[in-house]
Amino acid sequence: MENKILDAKNSFENELKKIDNLSKLEELRIKYLSRKGTLNQLFDEFKNLPSAEKQKYGKSLNELKNFFQENYEKLKANLEQTETKVEDFIDWSLPGRKRNLGSKHILIQTLDEIKSVFKSIGFSVYEGPELESDYNNFEALNFPSDHPARDMQDTFFINNSFLLRTHTSPVQIRVMQQLKPPIRVIVPGKVYRNEAISAKSYCLFHQVEGLYVDTDVTFSELKGTLVSFAKQLFGDNLKYRFRASFFPFTEPSAEMDIWWQPTGKEGRWLEILGCGMVDPNVLTNVGIDPEHYTGYAFGMGVERMTLLKYGIDDIRIFFDNDKRFLIQF
């Protein structure tokens, strides 16, 4: 026992001399003074000694303990004084860095506005895939494969049966296959057209489709809904007109124009959406009885709405990701 106490003291002293920072000192503390450290091991052995021996070594063990602790505390105090802490390197007077917050893209803001108008009158929001079947995009919407109306929409074909949807109208088919009337949905989403890129057209844009199917849905309801929608978006003084038009999947069909008056320039009529009564053939294609039900549908371009609302004259700017444009909204 005596030797062990001496050994412990010597090696502690030796190691102590080499310590020049707090983390090494902590290692020393763990080795000698922690619960499983040298000192406690010696005390454990001490407990098992016959009582005669206990008297002999009790004192020197206690001295060892004090020696460890005093030297440890002393060196610790010393090191704490000289060692520079991380905090000393921080310059609390430096001004902070400003963080720039992102915001919603202007198209998404317009889309949100359109959605909230229709949600407030009982439409729910539905979505469909951008990669669509020829059947849903054309065939079921009453465009037979040789129909010239297909030329209205230049298509990115994937193969003979699949394509990038050219409008959101195929989601009408999906919705009517899944839900039973009354159906009242809007469908926002991206659509693709293989058109030359210019200030007026882009290969990708956003549409919002609307569909309402029930007994006794009328064309005048369609007009009333669209007029009230357009006024909420463009203001009560809006001048508008409906023009007869053609879409294979609606009959009769119309387009809605609004009067556009840029300051200092000549005003003109601009088309904002296509609409009409769902063609009976389309209802038949999805198994809804056209003798019993009628419906209306409409489709509008989100880019077009945004251009008009904010007086922007080039559609490409929406897709450039130019911060100078984006931060204005």
- Contacts with ligand PHE by CB under 6 A lie at 167, 169, 209, 247, 250, 274-276, 297-299
**Nearest to ligand PHE of 167, 174 (CB atom):** 167
Joined tokens for residue 64:
């060892």
CB 299 within 8 A of CB 168: yes
Least CB distance from residue 302 to ligand PHE, whole Å? 12
Residue placing its CB nearer to ligand PHE in the complex, 181 or 276 = 276
User: Residue 309: which of 175, 112, 164 has the closest Cα?
Assistant: 112
61 or 254, CB closer to ligand PHE?
A: 254
- In whole angstroms, the minimum distance from the beta carbon of 185 to ligand PHE comes to 12
Q: How far is the CB of 96 from ligand PHE (least distance, A)?
A: 50
Question: CB of 189: closest distance to ligand PHE in angstroms?
Answer: 12
Rounded Cα–Cα distance for residues 80 and 78 (Å): 6
Tell me the backbone φ, ψ of residue 301, rounded to 5 degrees. -95, 125
What's the half-sphere exposure (Cβ side, CA atoms, 13 Å) at 249?
Answer: 30
Listing DSSP states for 260-282 in one string gives E--TTS--EEEEEEEEEEEPHHH
Rounded least distance, CB 143 to ligand PHE, Å: 11
What's the min distance (Å) between Cβ of 209 and ligand PHE?
6
One DSSP character per residue, 127-172 reads ---SEEEHHHHTGGGT--TT-GGGGGS---BSSSSEEE-SSSTHHH
The residue among 169 and 294 lying less far from ligand PHE, judged by its C-beta, is 169
The owner of tokens 């465009």 is 143
d(CA 69, CA 77): 12
| Count of positions (residues) in the chain | 329
* 3-class DSSP state of 292: coil
Using Cβ positions, the residue closest to ligand PHE within the complex turns out to be 299
* Spatial distance between the Cα atoms of 110 and 213, rounded to a whole number of angstroms: 26
CB of 159 to ligand PHE, least distance (A): 22
Amino acid letter, residue 115: K
